[in-house]
Amino acid sequence: MKKEVKFSLVFRDMWQSAGKYQPRVDQLVKVAPAIIKMGCFDRVETNGGGFEQVNLLYGENPNKSVREWTKPFHEAGIQTHMLDRALNGLRMSPCPKDVRKLFYKVKKAQGTDITRIFCGLNDTRNVIPSIQYAKEAGMIAQASLCITYSPIHTVEYYVNLAKTFIEAGADEICLKDMAGIGRPVSLGKIVAGIKALKEDIVIQYHSHAGPGFCMASILEVAKAGCDYIDTAMSPLSWGTGHADIIAVQEMLKDAGFKVKEINMEAYMEARTLIQEMYDDFLGYYIPALNHINNSLLVKPGLPGGMMGSLMTDLEDNLKSLNKWKVKNNQPELTTDQLLVKLFDEVAYVWPKVGYPCLVTPFSQYVKNLALMNVIQMEKGKERWSMIADNIWDMILGKSGQLPGPVAQELVEMAKAEGREFETNDPQSYYPDKLEDFKKEMQENGWELGEDNEELFELAMHPEQYRAYKSGKAKADFEKDLAERKAKKNAPAAGAELPKQIKVSVNGQTYEVNIAYGNEAPAATAAPAAGAAAPAGEGQDLLAPLEGKFYLVKDNSETPKKVGDSVQEGDVLGYIEAMKTFNAIRADKAGVITAILVNSGDAVEEDDPIMKIA
């Protein structure tokens, strides 16, 4: 009897690996019937890490999206699964325990069947509680082995890790080859080793196509007994995404496996609908390079799921760096030059910080650290001169145990700054917070939502949820989209470009001004947030990098205000850049006489943020 291999469509990851945003709920519901009619998928990845956060960023309620999107698959008998970052839940930073527990109850109630739990450190202390919470909520707990290639990450290492997860109650195992750099033969040995431990354990393989190993890897894991293969479909397959279902199905059929046939009429229907989403607005956030396979990715091992946003964000980083270079009479860099420098620096930094698997959030941390090093060195400064607090948390062990040792130079830096290495259970550093968030919702008159889903959303993504509720998220997104459309569809020289658009949010109209190039936007008639504090006397505190300014990074902190006394080195606020919060510290003692930007405002490098006298 032929061995059957089943397929999953990683619809969420298809978009995240291509660009910055996910489709709207009306688009998702429209494409679902065509995916079902294709007849080849037993599973669809509908939501999880990244999906819900970016919904909030463009002003859509992710809870509504998940409920409506998962429903048609359930009715068709297709399982849905989501991506789950263990200690971090759905976000970049660690979660309180009570928020993690609520997470699974909400997602099960919304219609998600399977949670794919992973920790980029493969720290069992982070994964095992999530296995237990998921099972208590009635979900299928799929524990992931984050695959990478290093002297530490051997076949034996992964088989032993799977054994620990199975003994802890994991229903399934996923080989999460998030960068596609797992070597095919080794992957086959890992699958065979796990099946030798427990023959009936379900194994699912997830790989990205970018570096070029994926088709050989899929064949090897299938031969070793893998049960499910993650696939994508055109126009979002290959490149930084995943192998196309057509090629995978034909390859496995030829190899003698039992596989489901593809309804090609439905495939083309789904493909057309995805292209329509692409043309509507999502394509404005998908760089052309993300459609191309690139074996340069073998060296840095950056994951496909991060490359989508990386290439979009890199535009801003390059623009900011080149602005500095022009000002200092230095030759500008091209995107390719910056990318190669970044890849080389990632390969340098990775062993220095203990070989964390390059998957969210640790892929962003290592990439951000590498990019900061590149930018600082391009400006003639020292490597390691800007390390965000959450990157330090990873280095110090507050996110879990690193697979390898930290370089001595970073150990010495930590000691010099009074930072201590930690060995406690990572969850112990993040106490319960749900009651605080419930109180905030009650004070604001916000509904907790069906199955407490709105409470969960605030607790999981506090800053993004507040911006969503205020309308600022949608207004900022509409402004950015209008600028991208205007740039792409720029009329002939001399023609008038739009200077303002109107955005309707929750029944209230906002006027959003648009600026081009280096020009400053005009004063906004009806801003989405309150006006900035008037300037006082004193010395400007300048933004050290480009990003979004926040007075606090979570509700455990008290925001600084005009009139507060500060000491040199005090944290005055944060700039969120590349998904990490970078502390802004006072460069002298004094009194804050003005706060010049609002929390959540975009700032450029060297923009004045505060005045201190």
Q: For 393-405, how does the pLDDT look when each residue is reduced to its tens digit (9 = 90+)? A: 999 999 999 999 9
- H/E element, 247: helix 245-254
DSSP string, 36-80: HHT--EEEEEEEETTHHHHHHHTT--HHHHHHHHHHHHHHTT-EE
Residue 1 has pLDDT above 80, yes or no: no
Sign of the dihedral defined by the CA atoms of residues 256, 259, 264, 265, in that order: positive
- Say yes or no to pLDDT of 604 above 90: no
pLDDT digits (tens, 9 = 90+) for 206-228: 999 989 999 999 999 999 999 99
Alpha carbon 273 to its chain centroid, in Å, reads 25
241, 211 contact by CB (below 8 A): no
Determine the average pLDDT of the residues in 480-489: 86
Q: What is the mean pLDDT of the chain?
A: 89
Q: Is the pLDDT of residue 522 over 80?
A: no
Q: How far apart are CA 556 and CA 340, in angstroms?
A: 39
Residues β-bridged to residue 574? 550, 583
Across the range 599-610, mean pLDDT stands at: 85
Contacts 24+ apart (CB under 8 A), 568-573: 572/541, 572/609, 572/610, 573/549, 573/599, 573/609, 573/610
In terms of Cα–Cα distance, which of 125, 39, 44, 109 is closest to 81? 44
What residue ranges define each of the domains in the chain, with the CATH number in brackets?
6-291 (3.20.20.70), 539-612 (2.40.50.100)
* pLDDT at res. 510: 53
The residue type at 393: D
With a cut of 70, say whether residue 278 has pLDDT above it. yes
Token pair 């590498």: residue: 370
- Rounded CA separation 412/403 (Å): 19
Report which residue type is found at 520: A
The 3-state DSSP class for residue 18 equals: helix
Confidence at residue 512, expressed as pLDDT on a 0 to 100 scale: 57
> CA 465 to CA 479: how far, in whole Å?
19
Contacts of 581-584 spanning 24+ positions with Cβ under 8 A: 581/388, 581/389, 581/390, 581/550, 581/553, 582/386, 582/388, 582/389, 582/544, 582/545, 582/547, 583/388, 583/389, 584/541, 584/543, 584/544, 584/609
Nearest to 84 by CA among 53, 116, 107: 116
The tokens of 240 are what?
Answer: 């930084």
- Record the pTM: 0.80
Residue 352's closest CA among 373, 340, 342, 366? Answer: 366
* Token pair of 33 as six digits: 């019937």
Q: What are phi and psi of 213, to 5 degrees?
A: -85, -15
The residue type of 135 is: K
The pLDDT of residue 92: 85
Instruction: Count CB atoms within 10 A of the CB of residue 35.
Output: 25
Task: Report the DSSP beta bridge partners of residue 504.
Answer: 509
Whole-angstrom distance, CA of residue 588 vs CA of residue 586: 5
- Per-residue pLDDT at 533: 40
How many angstroms separate the most distant Cα atoms in the chain? 82
The mean pLDDT value for 241-252 works out to 97
- List the one residue out of 419, 394, 414 whose CA is nearest residue 121: 394
Q: Is 535's pLDDT higher than 70?
A: no
Q: Give the pLDDT confidence of 553-601 residue by residue, as tens digits.
A: 776 688 898 989 998 888 899 888 766 788 888 888 999 999 998 888 8
**Residues 6 or more apart from 271 whose CB is under 8 A from it?**
233, 234, 235
Give the pLDDT band of residue 531 (cuts 50, 70, 90): very low
Highest mean pLDDT among 94-98, 287-291, 355-359: 94-98
Does position 58 have pLDDT exceeding 70, yes or no?
A: yes
Cα angle value 562/563/566 (rounded, 5°): 100
Other CB atoms within 10 A of residue 445 CB:
6
Which helix (H) or strand (E) covers residue 365, if one does?
helix 362-378
- The Cα–Cα gap between 47 and 434 comes to 23
Residue-level pLDDT at 530: 39
